Structure 1
């Protein structure tokens, strides 16, 4: 990666959060200049002029960087409002990482309904993930929720084996809880049992799920990492 990419940046500004998304001739010119300067193989998805002191947003996958109109400087960091401390960069990243929840292949996930089940989340988890186990314990404190768990086995080969044994159990959800909450290993799966392992790996890659747990909400937003019950309840309240 080009040395410029390693520079650190922190900007604190007070400006509006939205700007036009259509790429102009100037934005395309900046994209043409900045892309080769990010290093061999770097691919810039889009460049958008922002209201922030002439900066241009440079989107590389799910990452947001900033540069000037001549692509001479690269700024890495977050833009904050000095009055409200709203994180405009986070808002933008959240917007770009939204998914269409209804497109998730829920039949390939384990389903648990608690209470009336009206509140719905989908979680990508690995059976060997310590933070996933922490989050699953948190879920025991939350009621009136439906949880879809995708077995996203990315930590080790052993994760694939454990997930297969759990998926092939007579009661998948019970086998999952037994392992994640109590450390009780599921019986070995029958030789002919198949799982959606490859399908879920491809889905996670497509959705840019880079770690576990990753929690998706019906409004398309996500939270990477484990959160406590209070944080989960606070998030669920915001979803209409």
Structure 2
């Protein structure tokens, strides 16, 4: 069962373009290890990668398949833990069918839940920034069954402008007229993406320069202004 799950995840990873490197990553067999995270330690000028439970020590070079580079310093490891480069990953957020708000050149991605109060507060801050930024709002159904239903209703709404309006206002009660036929695959893609990006809560924001910030951002304008690009 573990091999099946890992193989399925690997297949989905390739499907949404998250894996590519100068190394051959095609594998006929996969074995899962009891590890949920890695830390990087430096000793005598050499990096070593240690599992979060201290059991496994990995020596040698580590390649970041997302940012297309080897991690050869603590600084690079720190950056890899804080930044995601969608362009290098060949990851297209539009594959997740987000709600798009704003017309600016700078692209910002925010993962939210329909019933997330702090997400609603961030929506309020977006109103004054819509000419400078484009916000890709990706709804995740992670706060219960009500969220599952509302994410489906918004995704399948016939009037996308009306759906966006309800989301930005925090209105989860208005009835949205559904499309005659609706493909809900984007929701599955969102959940898989959330797993890969280690999204455990919302809001989860990715700035135009790839900086990741978890949780509520009190000064969204200031945070965005600090980003390059």
Q: Would you call these one fold, judging by a TM-score over 0.5?
A: yes
Partner of 2:42: 49
The structural deviation recorded for 1:56 is: 7.4
Partner of 1:11: none
Distance in 2 between the 1:91 and 1:109 partners? 30
Distance in 2 between the 1:220 and 1:96 partners? 11
The answer as to 2:144 corresponding to 1:159 is no
Partner of 1:216: 206
SS of residue matched to 1:141? helix
The structural deviation recorded for 1:161 is: 0.8
- Which structure 1 residue ranges, 5 or more long, are not aligned? 1-39, 67-88
Partner of 1:109: 98
The structural deviation recorded for 1:58 is: 4.1
The answer as to 2:111 corresponding to 1:124 is yes
| Alpha carbons 2:158, 2:179 under 8 Å: kept | no
Partner of 1:100: 85
Partner of 1:21: none
SS of residue matched to 2:128? coil
TM-score scaled by structure 1? 0.59
- Aligned match for 1:137, one of 124, 128, 131: 124
Largest Rg, 1 or 2 = 1
The structural deviation recorded for 1:50 is: 5.4
SS of residue matched to 1:166? helix
Alignment of 1:1-240 (within 5 A): 41-42=34-35, 45=38, 47-49=40-42, 58=50, 60=52, 93-102=78-87, 103-107=91-95, 108-114=97-103, 117-143=104-130, 144-183=132-171, 184-187=173-176, 189-190=178-179, 192-195=181-184, 196-228=186-218, 230-240=219-229
Two-structure CA RMSD over aligned residues (Å) = 3.5
- Which structure 2 residue ranges, 5 or more long, are not aligned? 1-32, 55-73
TM-score scaled by structure 2? 0.61
| Alpha carbons 1:101, 1:217 under 8 Å: kept | no
